[in-house]
Amino acid sequence: MSDTVLTAIAAGLAERSPFDPAAHLRLTIEGRHIGWLPRAHAALIAHASGPASGPVLGPEQHGAVALLPGCSDFAQRAAALATLARTLAEAGHVRGWRDELFAVTPALDAPPYAVIERAAARFLGLLTFASHMNGVIAGERALWISRRSPTKATDPGMWDNLVAGGMPHGSHPLETLIRECDEESGIPPALAARAEAHGVIEVLREIPEGVQWEHVFVYDLALPADFVPYNRDGEVAEHRRIAPAALLAIMADRAMTVDATLVTLDALRRRGWTGDAD
């Protein structure tokens, strides 16, 4: 039974994670790879109004294209990208405006080249960062998970890790996690700070908005048996206390987001709980 469930989960992940490099351009700034721009989106913005110093995109060279090749500093690029994001939103190509800035960067520890409105990041296929946390109930073979609000811009109504959040410009993985713990599940900062880091999972897949290229920082937090999470920011519809077998069934039914499925499987495998589907 467990092999059947795990096979179904793997098949679901594969089907929900297509990526054809030939359909994308490597997006660069100063020769550094910062994104996977869909060719269809490149065609949409090729003639968009760029900064006074030049076009939004340079010419294609060996499957790569430079973003804002005429810009030379952070402020100039950020201003140009703010204009581009607003233009795309007004044309209906970008939805779910957040008024939140993401870094435009080749790596978390690299100085960012610019910032951009979060809603536009996946249209351009930019590398983004997120923190996800498995809420493990201390002394039990059980976890807490959350269901995303039906009004969320992405993956509405789907199951998620207990806490999950994108990393805005100027933040770092644990800081992001502590903030999201408080907002999404009512976990106080002192408890959230005890979360254990378990590496990074890379997600690269085509999605309706463009491309999700994300480095997901994985955390586990042992929660007291009597702790009950509660949402404070309206982004979570419900929380559920769940045993591994039922959780594996949710993942097999593709009712959990792709990134949360990967993070949850990581936790279950580390604990030897994937056999609970038997």
Residues 144 and 201 occupy one common structural domain: yes
Residues 12 and 29 occupy one common structural domain: no
170-228 pLDDT per residue, tens: 999 999 999 999 999 999 999 999 999 999 999 999 999 999 999 999 999 999 999 99
The answer to whether the beta carbons of residues 150 and 194 sit under 8 Å apart is no
Residues 9 and 42 occupy one common structural domain: no
Residues 143 and 269 occupy one common structural domain: yes
Q: What are the structure tokens assigned to 217, written together?
A: 């920082």
Asked whether residue 233 carries a pLDDT value surpassing 70, the answer given is yes
pTM of this prediction? 0.95
Q: What are the structure tokens assigned to 272, written together?
A: 């030897």
CATH number of the domain residue 123 falls in = 3.30.750.160
Residues 216 and 82 occupy one common structural domain: no
3-16 pLDDT per residue, tens: 899 999 999 999 99
Residues 89 and 101 occupy one common structural domain: yes
Residues 135 and 268 occupy one common structural domain: yes
Rg (CA), the chain: 20
Q: Is 182 exposed, middle or buried (0-12, 13-18, 19+ CB in 10 A)?
A: middle
At position 216, the amino acid (one-letter code) is V
**250 — phi, psi (to 5°)?**
-60, -45
Of all residues in the chain, what percent carry a pLDDT higher than 70? 96
Distance CA 57, CA 76 (A): 15
CATH number of the domain residue 194 falls in = 3.90.79.10
Asked whether residue 278 carries a pLDDT value surpassing 80, the answer given is no
- How many independent structural domains does the chain possess? 2
Residues 197 and 132 occupy one common structural domain: yes
**180 — phi, psi (to 5°)?**
-70, -35
Residues 105 and 47 occupy one common structural domain: yes
Domain assignment of residue 252, given as a range:
2-17+128-277
Residues 158 and 269 occupy one common structural domain: yes
Distance CA 195, CA 174 (A): 8
Asked whether residue 244 carries a pLDDT value surpassing 70, the answer given is yes
Please provide the DSSP assignment of 14-32 as one string. Answer: HHT----GGGEEEEEETTE
